[in-house]
Structure 1
Amino acid sequence: MAFIKLLLLILVIINGLENSTQVLVPDFYNESCPLLEEIVRYIMKTKVLRQPRVAAQLLRLHFHDCFVQGCDASVLLDSNGVIVSEKGANPNRNSLRGFEVIDEIKAAVEEACPLTVSCADIVTLAARDSVVLRGGPSWEVSLGRRDSLTASFDGANKFIPTPNLSLDALIANFKQQGLDTKDLVALSGAHTMGVARCVSFRQRIYDTSFAENIYEKFSSFQNSLSSICPRSGNDNKLAPLDFSTPAYFDNHYYENLVESKGLLHSDNVLVLEDQGGNIQDRVWAYASSREFFFESFVNSIIKMGNINVLTGLQGEIRKNCRFVN
C-alpha cells in the first residue's frame, strides 16, 4: 500500500513537471473556450472602429508587458498589498492605455469560459487583432500563457526602452530579452501607429547634441514639431509617431526614417548611428517593401510573445486582470 502511494506521488510530480514546461499551442482553448478568438475580435473591432488609437494602445501594452518579467500580464496588475503596480513606472505613467478594453474582453471571456483563459493570452490576442484591424498582417497566436502573481515596478523602469536611447543602448536592451537587431528594427515598426507626448520627443527637437539636428533635411520637420512642443510646457501635447498615416499599420514609418522624420530619437538612431550598415540597410528594405516588413514583424512579434511565459502549473488564471485571485 505504501509503495502504491509512493508511486502515485511520483506520477503526480512528473505530471506537474510536464505541465510546468508546457509548450504554447494555437489550439490550446479549442475545447475549453472555443469562442475565445471570436469574442476578442468582436470587442476589439467595436473599440477600434470607434477610436482607432485603441489599436496602437493595445499593441504597446503587449510590448510593455513582455519586456518586464515576460508576457505574463504583470503590467495589468493594480497596486494592492505587497504588489506595486508597473502602471506607475516612468515609461507607463500617464502614458500606457487600453486597460479598460482588456477588462471588457476579460469580463466577456469569463462569462463564456470561467477561470479558463489567462489575461496574458488576451493581451497577446488583442495585440494581433490591433494590427489586423488597422491594415497590418495577421498571424496564428500560440496560446497557453498563465498570469503572474507579481508585478515589477523596478523592472518596468529598468527594462522598457526610453525615447532618447542610443542605438547601442537599444541593442543591449533588446538583447536582454533574447531579441536581436533584426527584431529591434522590425518591432520598432509598431511606431507606424499611435502618438507620443511632447515630453518624449522634446529633446529630439532642441538638444543640439543629437546627430539628426545637424541635418538640413531635419530643419523643416523640426519647425513643425516645435509648433506642437515648445521648449517648456505642453508636456502632454500629442504628436503622431507616423505623420503620414498615423492610424494605419503600414511601412511609412520606415519611409519617414530615411528622411529623418521619425518622431522619437530612438527611432532615428536606427539610421543615424548604425556604423556597420546592417540595421540601416534593413530600414531601407522595409521602406521599399511593405511585404518584407510585414513578414519580419510577424516573426519578431511571435518571438517577443514567447519571452519568459508562464505555463502549466506556474502562475494562475486571474479572474480579474487587475488583481491576483
Structure 2
Amino acid sequence: MACGKLYFLILVILGLSLKVYGKLSPNFYSSTCPNALSIVEKGVKAAIKNEARVGASILRLHFHDCFVNGCDGSILLDDTANFRSEKTAAPNNNSARGFEAVDHIKAKLEKACPGVVSCADILAIIARDAVVIYGGPTWKVKLGRRDSRTANRSAANAFIPQPSFNLSNLTQSFANVGLSFKDMVVLSGGHTVGLARCTTFRSHIHNNTNINSGFAKYLQRKCPTSGNDNVLLPLDYQTKYTFDDKYYKNLVAKKGLLHSDQELYNGNKADSLVQDYAMDQCKFFKAFAKSMIRMGNIKPLTGSNGEIRLNCRKPN
C-alpha cells in the first residue's frame, strides 16, 4: 500500500500522546516473552488460511470484549457456577465465533512462555494481525492488559452496539466507553470484512427506505421475511475478505447490509466522514489504526488487578 509507511510513522509519533489507562506498552513482553508477537501472527495466519472468515470473527471478538467492562478478555469465558458467559448475550449468541483460534494461539504461548501473555492482550494482537492479513493498516498494539476473573452478561446485552441501532443509539454506545463520534464512524469500517446472518439485516432490507431498491430485492431473495435465518451474506458485498474502503463506498450507494451501517450515511452529520473515507482509503486506514489503539485502551486491568488466565475459557 502506498500509504502504508506514512500512516505507520504517524502512528508511532501519535502513539506517544494517546491517552492510555494503566501502564500499557508495545514492548511489554520484550523480555518475558520475546517471541509472543510472532507466535500470535503465525497462529492468525494459520487460522485465516484454514477459514477466511475467522479473521473478521476475531476482530469482532476484540470489539465485543472492550465494550463490556473494558478490554479484559471477559468475552472468552465460558459459563461457571458463579456467572453466565457473555457468549450467550444477545449480541454474541450464535454469532460470536473464533474462540478455537484463540485457544490454539493461547496454547502455543503457554508452551513458549507459561503464565505470561494475557487473553485480553491476545485479542488485541489478533485483531491487528487479522486486519493486516486482510490488506489493512498496521499499528503498534499497546500491551500489558490482565484478564478478568468474571464475565458480565447483562452488560454485554446493554452496551454492545446492535445491528438495529440508529445513529443516536450508535453515538451513545460509543460515548459510553469513551469513544468519539469519529471513532464510531471509523471503527464501523471494520465491517469491510466478514459476514452477517439473515436475522441481523432482515428488517433493514424488507422495511427500510434508506437502501438501494435493486440491492434490497437481491437480498430479499436470499433472506425472505421468514426462514433462512442462518443464511450468511457479506457485510461488504464487493470485497468480503479484503480490508479496504469499499464499505464506505457501499454506504454512499445505499448498499449497507445492516441498518446500523446505513445509518452512517442517511442525510446526517456522519455523511461527510463516510464520503471522506470512501474517497481516500489512506485516510480511512490512518484513522482506523488510531481508533483501534484508543479502543484497546478502554479500562484495561493492569498491575495486580485481574490475572493471567492459563486457559482463556475459565478463571484460574
Considering the TM-score relative to the shorter chain, is it more than 0.5? yes
User: How far apart, in 2, do the equivalents of 1:310 and 1:180 lie?
Assistant: 22
State the match for 1:288 in structure 2. Answer: 279
Q: For residues 285 and 233 of structure 2, what CA distance do their matches in structure 1 show? A: 24
Query: What's the C-alpha RMSD, in Å, of the aligned pairs?
Result: 0.9
Q: Does 1:266 align with 2:264?
A: no
Question: What's 1:74 paired with?
Answer: 74
**Match in the other structure for 1:91:** 91
Equivalence map 1:43-58=2 (5 Å) = 43-58=43-58
In 2, Cα distance between equivalents of 1:90 and 1:42: 32
Q: What TM-score comes out, normalization by structure 1 length?
A: 0.90
TM-superposition CA deviations, 1:285-321 (whole Å, max 9, x none): 0000000000000010110000010000000000000
Counterpart in the other structure of 1:234: 228
* Distance across 2 between alignment mates of 1:236 and 1:91: 15
AA in 1 matched with 2:225:
R
Q: Give the 5 Å matches for 1:240-255.
A: 240-255=234-249
> What residue number does 1:62 align with?
62
Structure with bigger helix share is 1
Q: 1:311 aligns with which of 302, 305, 316?
A: 302
Do residues 158 (structure 1) and 158 (structure 2) align? yes
2:109 equivalent to 1:115: no
Q: Which whole-Å deviations, capped at 9, do the CAs of 1:152-173 have from their partners, x for residues lacking one?
A: 0001100011101110111011
Structure 1 unaligned regions, length at least 5: 1-20
Distance in 2, Cα, partners of 1:155 & 1:83: 13
8 Å CA contact 2:22–2:300 kept in 1: the answer is no
**One of 213, 220, 224 as aligned partner of 2:218:** 224
The aligned residue for residue 210 of structure 2 is 212
Query: Deviations 1:216-256 (Å, cap 9, x if unpaired)?
Result: xx110001100110000111111100000001100000000
Amino acid at match of 1:201: F
Following superposition, the deviation at residue 143 of structure 1 comes to: 0.4
Cα drift, residue 22 of structure 1: 4.2
Answer whether contact 2:75 2:87 (CA < 8 A) is retained.
yes
Mapped contact 2:124–2:141 kept (Cα < 8 A): yes
> 1:134-155, CA deviations, whole angstroms, 9 ceiling, x for partnerless residues?
0001111110000001100001
1:46 deviation in Å? Answer: 1.2
Q: For 1:247 and 1:51, how far apart are their aligned partners in 2?
A: 11
CA positional deviation for 1:273: 4.9
How far apart are 1:51 and its partner, in Å? 1.5
The AA in structure 1 aligned to 2:235 is L
1:76-114 deviations in Å (ceiling 9; x for gaps): 000011121000011101101100000000000000001
Q: How many residues align?
A: 296
- After the TM superposition, which segments of 4 or more aligned residues of structure 1 sit over 4 Å from their partners? none
- Separation of aligned partners in 2, 1:233 and 1:58: 28
Three-state SS of the structure 2 residue aligned to 1:81 is coil
- Is residue 139 from structure 1 mapped to residue 127 from structure 2 by the alignment? no
Q: After superposition, give the CA deviation of every residue in 1:246-283 in whole Å (9 maximum; x if it has no partner).
A: 01100000000000001000001111151xx3x21010
**TM-score (normalizing by structure 2):** 0.92
**Partner SS, residue 70 of structure 1:** coil
Residue 65 of structure 1 deviates from its aligned partner by 0.3
In structure 2, what is the Cα distance between the partners aligned to 1:60 and 1:53?
11
**Mapped partners of 2:306, 2:265: distance in 1:** 41
Q: Which amino acid aligns with 1:246?
A: K
| Distance in 2 separating the partners of 1:206 and 1:45 | 38
Q: State how far apart, in whole Å, the 1-side matches of 2:130 and 2:66 are.
A: 17
Tell which structure's C-alpha radius of gyration is larger. 1
- Structure 2: gaps of 5 or more residues: 1-20
Other structure's SS at 2:233 match: strand
Partner of 2:203: 203
Query: Percent of pairs identical after alignment?
Result: 51
